[in-house]
A = this chain, B = another copy of it.
Amino acid sequence: MKRDLVSIDDLSSGEIAALFRTVDEMAARPREWTHLAQGAILASLFYEPSTRTRLSFEAAMHRLGGGVISAADMRSSSAAKGETLADTVRVVGGAYADILALRHPAEGAARVAARYASVPVVNAGDGSHEHPTQTICDLYSLYAEKGRLEGLDVVLSGDLKYSRTVHSLAYALARLRANVVLIPHRGFEMPEYVLRRLRERYGNEPQRLEADDFRSIAGRADAVYFTPQRPHQLSLFTEANRVAVAKLDALYVTRPQQERFTEGEAAPPVRIDREALSGARFKDTFVMHPLPRVNEISYDLDQDPRSLYFKQAARGVPVRMALLAFLLGRLDLGAEAPAPEPTAEAVRGRLGMACPNPTCITNLESHYLEPEYVVVSRSPLTASCTFCEVAVAPVLVGCASTRVFHRHNSGDVRRIKAEHLVLFASEEQARGSGFAAAGRP
């Protein structure tokens, strides 16, 4: 069976550990692996602009001795003629290439591609959702510097809403038992669906601070703060002192993902610099960033030994070499694959509500993709989108067999068979689909 890398959870912890050992070897002798992908072809399908990620995949494939076919600007080629993602990957990810690296602006796009392609699909970033290969670079960099991941204190800061890299990273850190501290920009908090997955899958409840708190982590004598770029922004940083952190192993900074902002959203002009990290608690704090940075990290940190971002990026090639070789079936990691997830109740079909996330792939390519949900709870009924994972809270729940609908928190909902569940966003939608209110018997 083919292996895809859509979510970081598609790799078991054992596989991640084994990958690290392979990356060590590949980084040490980068030119000795040209036998591994001999005769294989990687297709880069990039629906969003990228240089670093695409070039690192392609450099990795070259180092493995494979061939590369590259579509750097899919938006203006077949997609411009109206071709669906499914059609594209069925052809390119079947007959043309032996493995696909896909970047796409819609959440869930990589999951769709993995279903339709007959070859392994690597998610090189799907909207605000996940970016698992970056996470392996991040984890490997931390591991290489700190010698372990378990028990590390890692701050994820900035745009936690739209930054896909911190989503995948949070899952992995939680699973590998690091401590995750969140310091989002105001209005850019970690999405609920990420927090729920952290809680439900890994029992992890990350510490959450406001950006204001960061200044006070180290106390008065040892002031630590984000440097605002304009003086009048100082008011962002108050003296609140609600959380104490003894020391930090890593501070992960993110670029405000302005290309995904909705109207009215604006990132605060905050920048990390040497002064911000002058406190004792930051003595051994690695500053990480997935790059490209804009202004979040001052250039004065580039020469600081705690800056890890260029090393992270440099490791992109050996990490992706190991991943490509593994997914192509040319590298045996000797570790068990992840256990299959317990089968959850699924809701499928054209009837009922669309995914509430407007940039979910099911909304952007709705002419062939049906909404598909996983039931999280029966009372009240809540679910999440199979593709983009956002929470789905129907107002009404119907039974496709009786054509009757109930309120989402009605006890009757529990009696509907899973295969008959239909979720509605409104009574109007339910009645428009030919469903009637549950009557009294």
Contact = CB atoms under 8 A, between A and B. Distances in A.
Interface string A274-300: 000000000000000001111100010
A438 B299 CA distance: 35
B69 A317 contact: no
Contacts of A299: 367-368
B50 A317 contact: no
Contact of A50 (B78, B255, B310): B78
B59 A91 contact: no
Given A81-B259, A82-B294, A83-B291, A96 B55 contact: yes
A59 B292 contact: no
B59 A96 contact: yes
Contacts of A368: 299
Contacts of A73: 72-73, 76
Given A77-B51, A291-B83, A91 B310 contact: yes
A78 B52 contact: yes
A199 interface: no
Nearest to A97: B59
B94 A78 contact: no
Nearest to A43: B55
Interface string A42-67: 01010001111011101100110001
A270 interface: no
Interface string A242-258: 00000000000001000
A78 B41 contact: no
B62 A72 contact: no
B314 A91 contact: yes
Contact of A70 (B70, B78, B91, B313): B70
Nearest to A313: B91
A238 interface: no
B31 A92 contact: no
Contacts of A88: 51-52, 292
A207 interface: no
A292 B51 contact: no
Contacts of A49: 76-78, 80-81
Given A72-B73, A95-B316, 19 more contacts: A49-B76, A49-B81, A51-B83, A51-B88, A52-B78, A55-B69, A55-B71, A56-B96, A71-B72, A73-B73, A73-B76, A81-B259, A82-B292, A87-B292, A88-B292, A90-B310, A90-B313, A95-B317, A96-B317
Interface of A: 31, 34, 39, 41, 43, 45, 49-52, 54-56, 58-59, 62-63, 67-74, 76-78, 80-83, 87-88, 90-92, 94-97, 255, 259, 291-295, 299, 310, 313-317, 367-368
6 contacts: A34-B39, A49-B78, A52-B78, A81-B292, A83-B292, A83-B293
